[in-house]
A = this chain, B = another copy of it.
Amino acid sequence: MKVLMTGASGGIGTLLRPMLHELGVEMRLSDIAEPENGRAEGEDWVIADMCDAEAMHGLVDGCDAILNFGGISTENTAELIHSVNVIGTYNLYDAARKAGVKRILFASSNHAIGFHTRETRLDAEAPVLPDSLYGVSKVYGEGLALYYWKKFGIEGARVRIGSCFEKPKDRRMMATWMSARDMLRLIDRVLKVPRLGCPVVYGVSANDELWWDNSKVAYLGWQPQDSSRQWAGEHPDEPAVEVDDPAIKYQGGGFAKAGHFDD
């Protein structure tokens, strides 16, 4: 099996690259930029821009599956969000269709549902409620994945990633953190389960505080095994001073509080 990972120089890509060999598949890595830590021995790199539709055709050629971590990964100008996360994502999907790719993991985001309050339990059927233009672009991407699945049979996973970093950076991430290793386990399942369909998966480790319910995708056989608990000491417990502050009230945190990026 040949698998393409886009966004391989980004945050998640950088965390995952040293572990990808564990998947036992042939990997191709791509990003618009060279990885900051340099290419590793044996890695198959293609530098390409998602905005370049032609380049996407070459990139996906010969691949069975794609891990689409490429794109803008936080709020940004409308111009960038639209050209990369909307048009760029389309370029990748349509190239994949023409090349006969079978499966695509789409890196969606908790910011597609970021305006739900923290006390709301969300499962795969929860309505979207984006907290940013970035979040809206992920809503677009999830819709695109459904279209390519229903019309062309390309299976997909719409993974609403919480916070995939080395460790939680603030108190909110105690609930949203996803370890790179749990992401790897999820990728393994998405690539190898006999039938995938096109489910919503919440990308989060087995943290003590959980906002999201993955029980509807138990058929994937994915069990996260890490927890933010080990960093509890760095992010002490205490009730918020202002529980109605949007950064506290909503799952999207600071994204839900921020003004419009272009202003």
Contact = CB atoms under 8 A, between A and B. Distances in A.
A18 interface: no
Contacts of A127: 125
A191 B133 contact: no
Given A87-B82, A94-B78, A219 B121 contact: yes
Interface in A160-208: 171-172, 174-175, 188, 191-197, 199, 207-208
For this chain, the copies found in one complex come to 6
A39 interface: no
- Taking residues whose C-beta sits less than 8 angstroms from the other chain, chain A's interface range is 35 or more
Interface string A131-153: 11101110110111011001111
B210 A119 contact: no
B194 A238 contact: yes
A102 B211 CA distance: 23
Interface string A1-30: 100000000000000000000000000000
A26 to B, nearest CB: 14
A118 B219 contact: yes
B133 A147 contact: yes
A220 interface: yes
30 contacts: A1-B238, A78-B87, A78-B90, A115-B146, A115-B147, A115-B150, A115-B151, A119-B195, A119-B217, A119-B219, A121-B216, A125-B127, A128-B143, A130-B143, A130-B147, A131-B147, A131-B151, A133-B144, A135-B147, A136-B147, A137-B140, A140-B143, A151-B260, A153-B243, A174-B221, A175-B219, A192-B237, A208-B221, A209-B218, A213-B218
Given A153-B243, A194-B239, A119 B209 contact: no
Contacts of A194: 118, 171-172, 238-240, 243, 248
Given A86-B86, A119-B197, A135-B143, 12 more contacts: A115-B151, A119-B195, A125-B127, A129-B150, A131-B151, A153-B243, A155-B243, A192-B237, A193-B237, A207-B221, A211-B218, A213-B218
A218 B223 contact: no
A41 interface: no
A97 interface: yes
Interface string A86-99: 11001000100100
A256 interface: yes
A1 B241 CA distance: 12
Contacts of A196: 119, 239, 243
A207 B221 CA distance: 8
